[in-house]
Structure 1
């Protein structure tokens, strides 16, 4: 079985928060540049302090390819922007789609087993609307380990980093094969 977490630079909470601030800034820039577009930010929810390395990037790229199949017929207003820092890899898309349509397609990807479960796709429009499952009347995402609401498990630290990483390793082995 693969072990995705043997190499890489450990990140601090401050590093992760800085990355989040940069993501928000990039989203705002794209919304200002393409006010009629819908911005979709795709990232992988990597557990623990190692957020990127060659194996995690390979897993991200496989997920990105799956994600893009949900949007293959959608007009893109901007070439996808991929950023990789020590805090992880993200890709930003701008589509000529309604926000609800983009979120429905993103949810289809997120709900795919097993790879889509590792990702979050955030959807925004220039009127500063963020599309979420709950605002669209869909149930919240479920934890991939116990089926409770994912945010509840994250907030309560219901599962150890080792348990979450074991799930990632299992998915990587299924999707990418053994090393």
Structure 2
């Protein structure tokens, strides 16, 4: 895979406008993951019977996880996810951010699978939906669990580049960060967010 710094210098003008934010180093990403997991445990620890946790982040490869454009995309996807709740009450929410990208977590008065069904519509139908990570978590006793797309009859997420299974492409690093960033910028541009 090509060097990230060299890849960035070759980004199209459109992609450079998307991926112009601060650089998230590996320690930043690990800290964000730990903080997110702790917040998920804390929120689900306060969940009432019949509530689930919706965790919203962006699926953005490479070192630039936030920028003015990516924040607008995140706000649009968050708004769409809230609309997809179709009136279900949000009892508590918290927003975080920083170099690792924007995050929003909400305790929603819906069972986990029903919440996943509703928000998956955003992933499946909104032009920007493929850039969203709309994770739904529930709790059984002291055990937290995540609802997978396959549990509600949807296929695994598809790769933006080749339409293969996204996780397989990510694991094998089938596509360069540069190519992924260019594709993401194209999607965002099509939506009118650049």
How far apart are residue 13 of structure 1 and its match? 1.9
More helix by share: 2
Based on CA coordinates, which of the two structures has the bigger radius of gyration? Answer: 2
Aligned residue in 1 for 2:3: none
**Which has the larger displacement, 82-91 or 130-139?**
130-139
Which consecutive unaligned segments of at least 5 residues does structure 2 have? Answer: 1-13
Report if aligned partners of 1:83, 1:89 keep a CA contact under 8 Å in 2. Answer: yes
The structure 2 residue matched to 1:55, chosen from 64, 69, 79, is 69
Q: Does 1:43 align with 2:57?
A: yes
- Aligned partner of 2:184 among 163, 168, 177: 168
Deviation at 1:29, TM superposition (A): 0.6
TM-aligned CA deviation for residue 10 of structure 1: 1.0
Which of 117, 123, 126 does residue 139 from structure 2 map onto? 126
Q: TM-score, normalised by structure 2?
A: 0.84
User: Aligned in 2, Cα 1:10/1:104: closer, same or farther, shift over 3 Å?
Assistant: same
TM score, norm. by length of structure 1: 0.91
Partner in structure 1 of residue 122 of structure 2: 109
Stretches of structure 1 lacking an aligned partner (at least 5 in a row): none
Structure 2 residue 98 is the aligned partner of structure 1 residue 85: yes
Tell me the CA shift for residue 24 of structure 1.
0.7
In 2, the alpha carbon distance for the partners of 1:48 and 1:177 equals: 20
**Which stretch shifts more, 166-175 or 133-142?**
133-142
What per-residue deviation string (whole Å, max 9, x for no partner) do you get for residues 117-163 of structure 1?
00111111121221112344432111121111100011111111111
Q: How many residues align?
A: 176
What are the superposed Cα offsets for residues 71-114 of structure 1, whole Å, 9 maximum, x if unpaired? 13111111x32111110001001111011101111211111242
C-alpha RMSD of matched pairs (Å): 1.5
What secondary structure does 2:161 align onto? coil
